[in-house]
């Protein structure tokens, strides 16, 4: 679900203090963007939003969430029939967020 290697790479690149800030910013931006996703929105708009979410997710190692966003992005780009599973994407993000925050909390406690 989470690419822990990518997270460590990011932490090494930017340092512990900036890492915490980047994580907080990422989570806030994604939560805001996810809240704007709606069933039936124009395919091009949905594609753009999912592309943004996918890129953000990959930067922070949210691999499973990025894969769901990519799948939805492709569906929207092809204007394929059938809705993009936004609920699955929201749930995956929520689960990934919880796992990441728990791991960060354990690391900062120990």
Question: What is the pLDDT, as a whole number, of residue 31?
Answer: 92
What residues does each domain of the chain span?
Answer: 4-109
Q: What pLDDT, on the 0 to 100 scale, is given for residue 5?
A: 93
What does the alpha-carbon distance between residue 90 and residue 68 come to, in Å, rounded to a whole number? Answer: 10
pTM confidence score: 0.86
Tell me the CATH architecture of domain 4-109.
Up-down Bundle (1.20)
pLDDT digits (tens, 9 = 90+) for 40-51: 788 899 999 999
Q: pLDDT for 13-70, tens place per residue?
A: 998 888 888 899 999 999 999 999 887 788 899 999 999 999 999 988 999 999 999 9
HEC string for 29-54: HHHHHHHHCCCCCCHHHHHHHHHHHH
Closest CA to 33 of 88, 85, 90, 73: 90
Looking at residue 110, what is its pLDDT? 53
Which residues fall within 8 angstroms of residue 40, CB to CB, at 6 or more apart?
A: 83
Residue corresponding to tokens 């900062």: 108
């Amino acid at each position: 679900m989470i690419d822990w290697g990518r997270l460590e790479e990011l932490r090494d690149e930017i340092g512990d203090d900036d890492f915490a800030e980047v994580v907080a910013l990422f989570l806030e931006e994604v939560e805001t963007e996810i809240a704007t996703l709606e069933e039936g929105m124009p395919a091009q708009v949905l594609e753009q939003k999912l592309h943004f979410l996918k890129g953000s997710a990959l930067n922070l190692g949210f691999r499973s969430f990025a894969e769901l966003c990519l799948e939805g992005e492709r569906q929207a780009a092809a204007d394929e029939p059938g809705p993009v599973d936004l609920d699955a994407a929201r749930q995956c993000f929520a689960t990934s967020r919880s796992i990441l925050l728990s791991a960060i909390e354990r690391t900062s406690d120990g």
